[in-house]
């Protein structure tokens, strides 16, 4: 299943891309489930980001490996892929793409996920849309110009 969200912001694409650090990661954390950041190496290939999802009495570990990164004259991106993802997920790939848009930028969250069941993938879609859609106002505030 793929989800592609776009958010236009009022800063140049390289400034936006270079701001994808631990501070922004913490700001992007959803209200639920709460996240406890265990490790944040950065956004270069080989870096690891590890969180614990705190969902009531249960917690889940999520570990992602940064597998790609590129910067061109019109876009910049990095990709995180799930090494350890919470049930029911089996596959996770998130491309953080920032494209040039005149003097501003567009942030793309391109997410691919699979559970092993097409029906469950579809059931999770609205939740994924809600979770990652909540990033839009954070992006707007962080990159208001």
Do you know the residue count of the chain?
145
Number of domains in the chain: 1
The pLDDT of residue 34 is 87
Residue 17: the pLDDT is 98
Q: How far apart are CA 26 and CA 16, in angstroms?
A: 16
Give Rg (Cα) of the chain.
Answer: 15
- Answer positive or negative: Cα dihedral of 116, 120, 126, 131: negative
Reference 66, options 56, 77, 74, 55; nearest CA is 77
The pLDDT of residue 121 is above 90: yes
Q: What are the tens digits of pLDDT across the range 24-33? A: 999 999 888 8
Strand runs labelled E in 28-138: 34-40, 48-55, 58-71, 75-84, 91-101, 104-114
Confidence of residue 92 (pLDDT cuts 50, 70, 90): very high
User: pLDDT (tens digit, 9 = 90+) per residue, 34-85?
Assistant: 899 999 999 999 999 999 998 888 899 999 999 999 999 999 999 999 999 9
Q: What is the CATH number of the domain that holds 58?
A: 3.30.530.20
For residues 142 and 27, the answer to whether their CB atoms sit within 8 Å is yes
Q: What pLDDT shows up at residue 30?
A: 84
Q: Peptide bond preceding 33: is omega within 30 degrees of 0, i.e. cis?
A: yes
Range of the domain at 58: 2-142
When pLDDT is cut at 50, 70 and 90, the band that residue 86 belongs to is very high
The mean predicted confidence, pLDDT, of the chain is: 95
């Amino acid at each position: 299943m793929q989800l592609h969200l776009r958010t236009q912001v009022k800063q140049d694409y390289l400034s936006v891309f270079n701001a994808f650090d631990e501070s922004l990661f913490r700001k992007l954390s959803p209200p639920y489930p709460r996240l406890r950041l265990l490790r944040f190496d950065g956004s270069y290939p080989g870096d690891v980001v590890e969180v614990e999802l705190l969902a009531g009495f249960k917690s889940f570990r999520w570990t992602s490996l940064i597998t790609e990164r590129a910067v061109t004259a019109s876009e910049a991106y990095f990709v995180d892929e799930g090494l350890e993802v919470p049930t029911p997920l089996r596959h996770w790939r998130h491309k953080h793409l920032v494209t040039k848009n005149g003097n501003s930028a567009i942030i793309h969250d391109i997410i691919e996920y699979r559970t092993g069941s097409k029906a469950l993938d579809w059931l999770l879609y609205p939740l994924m849309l809600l979770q990652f859609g909540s990033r839009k106002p954070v992006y707007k505030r962080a990159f208001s110009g």
